Amino acid sequence: MGALEYQIHYTYSDYKKWEGKWELYEGFPIAMSPAPMINHQMIASEISRVLGNNIKEKCKRCAVFGEADYKVSDDTIVRPDVVLTCNEKGKTYLTKAPEIIFEIISKSTAKNDETYKFTLYEKEKVLYYCIVYPDDLKVKIYKLTENGYSKEGDFFTESYTFKQSSCNASIDFNEVFERF
């Protein structure tokens, strides 16, 4: 048996022992290093702040945060940049699909974010998948329909309301991107 014919299939029990930042795609480990660029982190912080402030008073059962493990299955764990999740019971990781996920594109993650995660989040019924392009200060928003994701549009400085979310959350991209 050649080296390429045999691949170790990892699970959550392996994953939780690893140091550093990783994701696990159907048993295959994906390194999440080096750390994201400063603009990436600043945009993630702004999305969390703006979206979180929007729901703070009107929706106590939902929360916005980043860098949380989302355990899709025992061999698939992803770490979205920002999520809005409601009625989450997990203490160690997200146990169900978030309602909204934001992934901020970098050269090293673009292919995974635009293909693998797009398909994964669609299959897991994430209501909204938002892909952020920091170099263009642009967000592509996809809304889940009965036929899969439908592109809502490209957003630069506009506001958008996530009408299917439990909290009727909205975000003002002008406010998110104003420092850039």
Residue type, 33: S
Domain extent, residue 162, equals: 36-177
41-56 in b/e form (b: 16+ CB < 10 A) is ebbbebbbebbbebbe
Query: SS in 3 state form for the chain?
Result: CCCCCCCCCCCHHHHCCCCCCEEEECCEEEECCCCCCHHHHHHHHHHHHHHHHHHHCCCCCEEEECCCCEEEECCEEECCCEEEEECCCCCCCECCCCCEEEEECCCCCHHHHHHHHHHHHHHCCCCEEEEEECCCCEEEEEEEECCEEEEEEEECCCEEECCCCCCCCEEEHHHHHCCC
Residue at 109 is within a domain: yes
pLDDT at 90: 87
Residue at 106 is within a domain: yes
The structure's pTM equals: 0.93
CA distance 142 to 51: 17
Q: How many domains does the chain have?
A: 1
pLDDT at 179: 92
pLDDT at 2: 54
Residue at 66 is within a domain: yes
Residue at 4 is within a domain: no
pLDDT at 35: 66
pLDDT at 32: 84
Residue 122 predicted with pLDDT over 90: yes
Taking the CA of residue 72 as centre, how many other CA atoms within 13 Å lie in the half-sphere pointing to its CB?
Answer: 20
Span 65-121, pLDDT tens digits: 998 999 999 999 999 999 999 999 889 999 999 999 999 998 888 999 999 999 999
Residue at 62 is within a domain: yes
* Partner residues linked to 131 by β-bridges: 103, 140
pLDDT at 137: 97
